[in-house]
Amino acid sequence: RLQPLQDSLPTSTFEAVQETIFEDLGQSVKAIFSEFDPKPLASASIGQAHVARLRHNGQKVCVKIEHPGVAELSAIDLNNIDYLIQVMTKLHDDAPDVTEIVGEMRRASIEEVDFRLEGQNAEVASAAIRSSGLNVGCPRPLMEFSSQRVLTMGFIEGWKVTEVEKLPAGADREKLASDIVEAWAMLVFEAGLVHGDPHPGNIFMELCDGPDGVRPVLLDWGIVKKVSPQQRLTLARWMLACLARDRFLYLSAMLEIGVSVTEAVNDEFLDEMMFGGLLNLRDTIPADAMQQFHDQLLKQRENKKEKKKQQEAEGKKAAKMIEKIPGWVHFFIRALQLLQDVCSTLEVTVPVARIVLKYASACLGINNTAMKGLSSGYGAMELAVQKKLHDLQARGLLLGAQVAVLNTSGTWRCNVGAGQLRHGGESVKAGEFEEQSLLPLMDAGSGVLLLCLLAAISGKTITGKEVNLDSPVAKLWPDFARAGKGSFKLRDVLRQKGGLARPFRNKTTCKTMCSEKQMEEMIAAAPRDDGTAHDASSTVPCVLGTALAAMLRRATGHRTAAEALKSVLRPLGLEDEIVYSGPKHRMAHLGRKLLENVTISTVWELLEERMRRGSSEEAKCPDWLTWQELRQKQPWCADAMLANHSSLLDGSGCATGLGLRASACALCRLLVECPVSSQILEQSLAPPGRLHVSSLQEWHELGRCLEVAAGWKLFRFKGADQEVVGYGQSDAATGSTFVRLPNAGVAVLLTCVDPEAQKTASLELLEVVSDQLGLRPCWPDDVPKVPDRAPEVSGSEGGTEVELRRSLARLEAQVARLTDALLETDGRGTSDVPCIAGKWKSKQVEGIEELLEALHVPTMARAMAKKLSKKLEIEMREDNISIHSTSSVAGRQIEETTTSFTVGLPFSGQFMRSSYQGQAAWGPGSETGRSLTVDKELQISGHQVRLVEQFHLESGGQLAVKTIVKGKGLIDVAIQSSAELQRLSKNLDPATWTLKKEVQVSGMQLWRGGRVMHPPVTAISQLAALPLPVMLQINYADMESTILFDREGALPETRLKAQKVANLKQANTVCCSCCTSKIQLRHVVASVLHAIGRAVEGEK
């Protein structure tokens, strides 16, 4: 309905046009132009455009003439807006000051009616686009035929971007839309021009030479904001903070941009702001698909309005969060929103975040920093670690890392750093890791504090007290005896039995978490709650660390934990290497993998999370919370990115439990040069215990290590002749781990807090180090038999009900373990029931297009994959499997295959018209049954391909079939000639450093998708200029796709029941009446426990 406002407004008369040209250019229309169409081509609010031809050279031009009196009318409108803003501010004292925005509107309006400025902007933009190499047009102004009210430009023979029916057949709409967004982002971060009005009326399409045949053209450079290099840096940091979901970096970037906030600003408000930022950077989707999403957003906004009205009716006035918003930022945000609409009009998906991130990262100087060996020599271990770091970086699992290994003899085996110090610093560019870089230890910091406390109590304390692990905590920390905790000993607290299952007040905030005094007082006042013995949730690491720091400073007689820490570390020369805060250039930040694609599913998840949190806030909450409850109610308090809080970085605050920072080599020295007496150390390591977890998620957060001692995790390794046990600590968020082995100290520190990185990167690095030491980690193989995720606690439940649900969850897990143990004691056990059998219909497909591209499937076929649907019928008789598959596209069947095989035996078949050899294996059992893995090897387009299919049931009953095309990993490519190097450089994507198509180099056929990892260069020109011969390293990562299936029809109950009966008979085969009695008793106990749990749940 608003489209006519773009180019179809009322026009000025031709007489007025002639008069304006004569007054401004000093010549008549006929004197300048041989042709001039009196009928306007288009008319907007400022002026109208006419088609003409220059008399002196015959060039076809577009002449833009300002409407008479428009400058005066614009000034009146702005005065009216000023008045309305003043009235609004008086009526709504919680509204932010928007005078700067109005001021920017006034500046833009004044500049918009001066066409000389528009011409200058267009010249700068045109030159920048040409030098960038982007296939985007920009009309060049002819300044000799232009004035304040007349602008003459080269004519664009094109049509509006919304007239998609005029596009040539086969035109790549997605590329056209991407080029528009990329040109806009390039101009912002490289040329310092923000086109503030890229609506559909200001974007045309024109035919052009070249393979594309058509290109977009950016018009109307009247509403433009010029941003300084410093403003570009702050914008880039703001974008990165959004995409890293880092609320603390986001607040810092907001303040640097010029947003003024009040003291009332809270973390929930920051989350709302970040969510808005992600909305602006989301992947574009077709216009019709946006309606449902906008409806949901509108519904949520209406709910918030109703909630605000209700609070005001109750006398609760909403606090003012923002004082002032800078006007220039408004142009940037508005332009992003308009670009979203343009791309939606073209009915395509454009990764806006990835495109903006490309230029924002370049602005901040962020790149894939080369691996940097920090020691003098490169031994076998160091080279192996560097290779693994390259691999992790290529897989997107590495932000920053340090790996160090120190022999007890004092010889360094490894000391390597890699990656970035942070996602762009405050007003500085991102730095590289160095030997002195200090990485956040988070949960692992409790191990450092434990060593220092043990050292402090190895002799008499500063007050002359003799303290050991069996002394009451109150002997060191009298306040801890409050609320029924007086009987607990040091050993109890270290062994998760310190009565601290609920240590957090329900009003805990980030400021609380960053205050040493407030955290100490809160833990001392926490009521005794024993939870469950050895339950992993009984004492969380940050609480344990806070308690250790409180005892350490009292044992050493210092006022702060930082001073106490220095006093213990000073004799080792480590007082400046393990700290709570240090010089800014050494402080590494934690970070998340940047969201390069803010998909609509990601936005939906964030939206639903906000809705759940809103309902949780309305519910009654107990006075004291567990870690899980705090994480659900106040997620910002449990956010690992708290390590980036400004108060922790500048030292004005101190999170004693999770705020320690250190380098990997400093930790190795602390482990090897241990200041603790052997007697106290041995007491802390014996006897070992085992933590109980309620989910595999919790197990992963514990570094997959459940064996513990007094404050330590015990890491088991398999050696050539015997088992080796090391002690140390690990962090749940990053996977950072340090371990003291009999002959060495090992430290692996990471700064990426993504779950995948936490699960994968640390363990793979430890495996590389262990292999060089002749060891193999054993603890990850000890998988507990628990559900994938713990049951969520509803926000509407009170404290008693919350605890009841937690108790029931623990009871069910214990019953499951007891049942398994009883049947194993019988000596026979039960066989798994293959629950993936049955009929299935596909529901959701993820990653299929990327996988098909890796398999060299034609583009047209890949496009059809969006409409792919599959049906499976799986029959299983013990290890004999038959999988009948039917594939359809848009309702038409295109493929039907049946594959039969026996698990464990080789078989052959057909895939994509290629023969393959395969073998299947059962995966580990879980609550949903066994998983099945089918491994296939085949030839596609002359390339050897390994294809892995994994079948397993999700917790919701859906069948997940993950297809993985295994990458080759890192391969070495020797380049001998400049022609080969140029051929390779020509086929590289400069944004991602990946091959755009196959290329023949040095007798090797390189697939597309490979990413150049070494040598470290930042531009294609640098690569082409490398001295020959040169050895390149190209990485081929795994590609995967997952299809989710819903079950059709009922589970094949008859066969399952028959198998269960057969298993039960086999399990109950006994040798005597005594054994029969024992088995019956065990089954009765398990049944009774299970029935009690169900009965209690039913009463609720």
Could you report the per-residue pLDDT of 664-684, keeping only the tens digit for each? 999 999 999 988 988 999 999
Q: Give residue 600's pLDDT band: very low, low, confident or very high (50, 70, 90).
A: confident
Burial of 776 (0-12, 13-18, 19+ CB in 10 A): middle
Residue from 500, 214, 225, 499 nearest 335 by CA: 225
In whole angstroms, what is the distance from residue 235 CA to residue 239 CA? Answer: 6
Q: Where are the alpha helices (DSSP H) in 706-747?
A: none
Q: Name which of 137-141, 180-184, 707-711, 820-824 the model is least confident about.
A: 820-824
What is each CA distance from 1081 to 565, 831, 1077, in whole angstroms? 55, 21, 6
- Please give the pLDDT value at position 436: 80
Q: Give residue 135's pLDDT band: very low, low, confident or very high (50, 70, 90).
A: very high
Instruction: Taking the CA atoms of 1016, 1021, 1026 and 1028 in sequence, report the sign of the dihedral they define.
Output: positive
Q: What is the DSSP letter of 536?
A: T
What is each CA distance from 53 to 36, 49, 122, 152, in whole angstroms? 7, 13, 20, 10
Q: Name which of 266-270, 495-499, 912-916, 936-940 the model is least confident about.
A: 912-916
- Strand, coil or helix: 98: coil
Assess whether the previous peptide bond of 687 is cis (omega < 30° from 0): yes
In whole angstroms, what is the distance from residue 624 CA to residue 502 CA? Answer: 6
Helices and strands: H and E segment counts in the chain: 35, 42
- Please give the pLDDT value at position 1097: 44
In whole angstroms, what is the distance from residue 355 CA to residue 989 CA? Answer: 13
Residue from 1053, 1044, 971, 1064 nearest 1010 by CA: 971
Q: Name which of 250-254, 436-440, 582-586 the model is least confident about.
A: 250-254
Helix, strand, coil distribution of the chain in percent, nearest 5: 45, 20, 35
- In the chain, the amino acid numbered 629 is E
* Cβ-contact 177, 355 below 8 angstroms: no
- In the chain, the amino acid numbered 357 is L
How confident is the prediction for the chain on average, in pLDDT?
79
| Confidence (pTM) | 0.65
The per-residue pLDDT for range 1011-1055, each reduced to its tens digit, is: 888 787 777 878 888 888 888 888 888 888 888 888 887 655 434
Check whether 821 has a pLDDT greater than 50: no
The per-residue pLDDT for range 372-409, each reduced to its tens digit, is: 444 445 588 998 998 999 899 888 888 889 999 999 99
In whole angstroms, what is the distance from residue 458 CA to residue 447 CA? Answer: 16
Q: Name which of 20-24, 245-249, 419-423, 496-500 the model is least confident about.
A: 419-423
Q: What is the DSSP letter of 257?
A: H
- In the chain, the amino acid numbered 1083 is H
In whole angstroms, what is the distance from residue 458 CA to residue 460 CA? Answer: 7
Q: Give residue 547's pLDDT band: very low, low, confident or very high (50, 70, 90).
A: very high
What is each CA distance from 810 to 301, 624, 695, 926, in whole angstroms? 39, 20, 10, 17
In whole angstroms, what is the distance from residue 136 CA to residue 195 CA? Answer: 14
- Please give the pLDDT value at position 1084: 45
In whole angstroms, what is the distance from residue 655 CA to residue 232 CA? Answer: 33
Q: Name which of 3-12, 319-328, 501-510 the model is least confident about.
A: 3-12
- Please give the pLDDT value at position 620: 61
DSSP string for residues in 200-244 = GGGEEEEE-SSSS-EEEEE---SSEEE--HHHHHHHHHHHHHHHT
Maximal C-alpha separation, the chain: 119
Residue from 972, 1042, 1038, 980 nearest 1009 by CA: 1038
The per-residue pLDDT for range 941-980, each reduced to its tens digit, is: 666 788 899 998 887 788 999 988 888 777 878 888 888 8
* Cβ-contact 664, 374 below 8 angstroms: no
Check whether 826 has a pLDDT greater than 70: no
Q: What is the DSSP letter of 688?
A: -
First to last CA, the chain: 55
57 versus 599: the higher-pLDDT residue is: 57
- Please give the pLDDT value at position 93: 61
In whole angstroms, what is the distance from residue 222 CA to residue 193 CA? Answer: 11
Assess whether the previous peptide bond of 688 is cis (omega < 30° from 0): no
Structure tokens at 246: 């880092």
* Cβ-contact 561, 516 below 8 angstroms: yes
Residue from 439, 404, 689 nearest 588 by CA: 439
- If you average pLDDT over each of 25-34, 581-590, 944-953, 1029-1038, which comes out highest? 25-34
Residues 208-224 have a mean pLDDT of: 87
**Token match 């400025």: residue?**
117
Structure tokens at 130: 């040409």
Q: What is the DSSP letter of 69?
A: T
In whole angstroms, what is the distance from residue 984 CA to residue 177 CA? Answer: 28
Contacts of 73 (CB under 8 A, 6+ apart): none
Residues 640-651 have a mean pLDDT of: 88
- Residue 941, beta-bridge partner list: none
What is each CA distance from 778 to 35, 706, 718, 925, in whole angstroms? 85, 12, 6, 19
What is each CA distance from 585 to 77, 295, 421, 426, 588, in whole angstroms? 50, 47, 9, 11, 8
Contacts of 800 (CB under 8 A, 6+ apart): none
Structure tokens at 821: 């143990």
- Please give the pLDDT value at position 294: 67
Residues 999-1018 have a mean pLDDT of: 80
- Please give the pLDDT value at position 417: 86
- Residue 893, beta-bridge partner list: 888
Q: Give residue 716's pLDDT band: very low, low, confident or very high (50, 70, 90).
A: very high
- Please give the pLDDT value at position 419: 81
In our burial notation (b when 16+ CB lie closer than 10 A, e otherwise), range 566-590 reads bbbbeebebeebbbbbbeeebbbbb
Residues 432-441 have a mean pLDDT of: 80
Instruction: Taking the CA atoms of 241, 247, 250 and 252 in sequence, report the sign of the dihedral they define.
Output: negative
979 versus 808: the higher-pLDDT residue is: 979
Contacts of 387 (CB under 8 A, 6+ apart): 970
- Residue 946, beta-bridge partner list: 937
Check whether 348 has a pLDDT greater than 90: no
Q: What is the DSSP letter of 137?
A: B
Check whether 425 has a pLDDT greater than 60: no
820 versus 244: the higher-pLDDT residue is: 244
Q: Give residue 532's pLDDT band: very low, low, confident or very high (50, 70, 90).
A: low
* Cβ-contact 424, 415 below 8 angstroms: no
* Cβ-contact 410, 379 below 8 angstroms: no
Residue from 282, 241, 230, 238 nearest 259 by CA: 238
In whole angstroms, what is the distance from residue 729 CA to residue 670 CA? Answer: 13
